[in-house]
Amino acid sequence: MNAVSRTLLFVMALGLAGCGEKVYLVKGKVHSNGKVLPVKAGPAATGGNVQVIFLQTDAGEGPVDPKKAVYNPADGTFTVPGAKGSGIPPGKYKVAVVWQDDYPLGADKLKGAFSEGATHIFIEVPLAEELDINVAKPPAGK
C-alpha cells in the first residue's frame, strides 16, 4: 500500500469515526398517583422489580431491539442508557411497564395493562421533558 492509499484510508477512517448515530438519554419516573411502586428487597433472582421497556415502532422490518430502563426503586426514577450507556436513537417508541414481586415467578401487579400489547404510552425521542408514567391510569377499557 503506497503513502497516498494509506493517507486516504486514514482520512476515511477519521470521517467514519465521527458518523455515529445520535442518541438521547431518556429519563423519567414511574408511579401510582405520585407514590413509588414498592418492590420487595432481595437478590436479583428473588427480589421484586419494575421493568420499563422501550420498543421502537418506526425501526422498519425485522426484530425490535427492546431498550430497558434502569429503575431506581427508592424514588421511582429511571434512565434508558441504551447499548453504550449514552442513550437511545431518535424515533417513535411504545413504552411497556411490568411491576413484579418475587421475580421471575411473580405475576404482573399491573395485570398486563401496560404490557407490550396493551400499553397506551407512545413517545417520540428526543423528549422535550422527562417522561411521567402514572400506572394508576390504565388504558381505556382496562
Show the domains of the chain with their CATH numbers: 22-134 (2.60.40)
Please report, in tens digits, the pLDDT of each residue of the chain (142 residues total).
655 444 444 444 444 444 568 999 999 999 999 999 988 766 655 567 899 999 999 877 766 789 999 999 899 999 999 989 999 999 999 999 999 877 556 789 999 999 999 999 999 999 999 999 999 986 654 4
* Cβ-based neighbours of 64, under 8 Å, separated by 6 or more: 55, 56
Residue 70 CB coordination number (10 Å) = 11
Nearest to 55 by CA among 1, 105, 115: 115
Report whether the peptide linkage leading into residue 38 is cis, meaning its omega lies within 30 degrees of zero.
Answer: no
Q: What is the pTM of this model?
A: 0.78
